Amino acid sequence: THQWRGVIEEYRELLDIPAGTPAVTLREGGTPLVHSEWLSGLTGAQVWLKVEGSNPTGSFKDRGMTAAISVAAAEGAKAVVCASTGNTSASMAAYAAKAGLTPVVLVPEGKIAAGKMAQAVLHGSRLIQVRGNFDDCLRMAREMAWNYPVALVNSVNPVRLEGQKTAAFEIVDFLGDAPDYHLLPVGNAGNVSAYWLGYMQYAALGRASKKPVMRGFQAEGAAPLVTGEPFPDPETKATAIRIGNPASWKLAEAARDESGGRFASVSDAQILAAQQELARHDGLFVEPASAAGIAGLLQELAGGASYTGATVAITVTGHGLKDIATALEGVVLPDTVVDAEVDAAATAAGL
Ligand code: F0G
């Protein structure tokens, strides 16, 4: 019987990684593309959600990490390092464990969701909290890799984008062509750049007849690609995208310009509302940052943008269980308690 083999074996001939590199894989990728009746109804478009929380460690990072860890291991690395807002560290730690490498994690102190922290720790990371933000951590990770025997696996490592572009391949393989629009959250800007690489490659190969317009959404308090200036003190409840100076800035701008797309910002309130509505309407529980693309679509509709008749893909990047504290901030927890008696429960449930 066939089991999905992971993104390297499924797409090896399309990935720019050294020939014959053995794959360190948790069989990532092959994630669901779920039709959203809710958003299709609101837009008059066909809206499809790429559910990246279904990856082994619960975010899209696994696609790039299988590639980066496979190459690092093949090159003889003994330790790997990343800066992270949480998901990259969870993913790196898992793949490093699988490969027998030592994971070294640099994260901004007190700004990582508990689920991601638990993953990094359980997979055996040397977890170092930094008095600073993600951008400080990334500078330190780069310098550490120059000066110490440790390989850098942040998305400044081009191998990461090679793995991540497979999400675009999967969307086209499933839909039969590229969508007209692709919306997604943007933080360090690796993912939007990787999708664009994937869509361009499939168009060049004739596997798609067109390329989508790329629309990226940042949090209002961390929106350097919108304002054109770095944010020295980025702030947002969507901690995954709390980034003031994205590493893939230039690549992301190229994706925007070449696709005729744009970047816009959404507030934390919009992000959290979108997270809740998606959970209620579509049965998908995503982390706050992952709802930025949904919030972006709703904002555009409110502003009069039209998607009528189009095919729209939206990436929801990570699983809601990673950060339940933030999810619960915006809701009133039911405090109904009844005696162990069915009629009491039914009455309390309003039946
Ligand atoms: N969504 C989630 C859930 C993320 O974890 C990230 C980035 C993004 C969106 C933005 O993607 O950086 O490629 O533009 N998380 C990184 C990390 C920075 O360290 O886990 P991007």
**What is the DSSP code string of 107-168?**
EETT-S-HHHHHHHHHTT-EEEEESS-HHHHHHHHHHHHHHSS-EE-STTSHHHHHHHTHHH
113 and 181 both lie in a single domain: no
**Residue among 54, 55, 191, 285 to mutate when testing ligand 1 (max atoms within 8 A of CB):** 191
Domain-embedded: residue 342: no
Other beta carbons within 10 Å of 141: 23
pLDDT tens for 152-162 read 999 999 999 99
173 and 297 both lie in a single domain: yes
Domain-embedded: residue 347: no
CA-based radius of gyration for the chain: 20
Residue 86 beta carbon below 6 angstroms from any ligand 1 atom: yes
250 and 322 both lie in a single domain: yes
Residue 185 beta carbon below 6 angstroms from any ligand 1 atom: yes
Residue after which a domain boundary falls, among 134, 158, 182: 158
Q: Into how many domains does the chain fold?
A: 2
The mean pLDDT value for 237-254 works out to 98
Domain-embedded: residue 349: no
107 and 211 both lie in a single domain: no
Q: 252: helix, coil or strand?
A: helix
Domain-embedded: residue 236: yes
51 and 76 both lie in a single domain: no
Residue 186 beta carbon below 6 angstroms from any ligand 1 atom: yes
Residue 330: pLDDT band by 50, 70, 90 thresholds? confident
207 and 168 both lie in a single domain: yes
For residue 147, what pLDDT is reported? 98
Q: Provide the residue range defining the domain that includes 256.
A: 7-55+160-329
Domain-embedded: residue 2: no
For residue 277, what pLDDT is reported? 98
Q: Taking 80 as the threshold, does the pLDDT of residue 150 lie above it?
A: yes
Q: Taking 90 as the threshold, does the pLDDT of residue 101 lie above it?
A: yes
Domain-embedded: residue 14: yes
pLDDT tens for 31-73 read 999 999 999 999 999 999 999 999 999 999 999 999 999 999 9
Contacts for 204-207: CB closer than 8 Å, 24+ residues apart:
205/14, 207/172, 207/173
260 and 116 both lie in a single domain: no
Residue 290 beta carbon below 6 angstroms from any ligand 1 atom: yes
For residue 50, what pLDDT is reported? 99
Q: Do the annotations mark residue 191 as ligand-binding?
A: yes
149 and 166 both lie in a single domain: no
The mean pLDDT value for 131-143 works out to 97
Considering only residues 2 and 220, tell me which one the structure prediction assigns the higher pLDDT: 220
Residue 126: pLDDT band by 50, 70, 90 thresholds? very high
Tokens of 225: 């690609």
**Percentage of the residues of the chain whose pLDDT score is greater than 90:** 97
Residue 236 beta carbon below 6 angstroms from any ligand 1 atom: no
CATH number at residue 231: 3.40.50.1100
Residue 190 beta carbon below 6 angstroms from any ligand 1 atom: yes
pLDDT tens for 206-216 read 999 999 999 99
66 and 50 both lie in a single domain: no
For residue 334, what pLDDT is reported? 87
Task: Tell me if the pTM is above 0.80.
Answer: yes
Domain-embedded: residue 343: no
Residue after which a domain boundary falls, among 158, 177, 212: 158
Residue 87: pLDDT band by 50, 70, 90 thresholds? very high
Query: At 270, which amino acid appears?
Result: Q
Query: What is the number of the ligand 1 atom nearest to the C-alpha of 287?
Result: 3
For residue 1, what pLDDT is reported? 77
The mean pLDDT value for 291-315 works out to 98
184 and 250 both lie in a single domain: yes
Residue 219: pLDDT band by 50, 70, 90 thresholds? very high
Q: Do the annotations mark residue 189 as ligand-binding?
A: yes
154 and 166 both lie in a single domain: no
Q: Do the annotations mark residue 29 as ligand-binding?
A: no
Q: Do the annotations mark residue 133 as ligand-binding?
A: no
**Residue among 31, 54, 61 to mutate when testing ligand 1 (max atoms within 8 A of CB):** 61
50 and 67 both lie in a single domain: no
The mean pLDDT value for 110-126 works out to 98
For residue 226, what pLDDT is reported? 98
Residue 291 beta carbon below 6 angstroms from any ligand 1 atom: no
Domain-embedded: residue 351: no
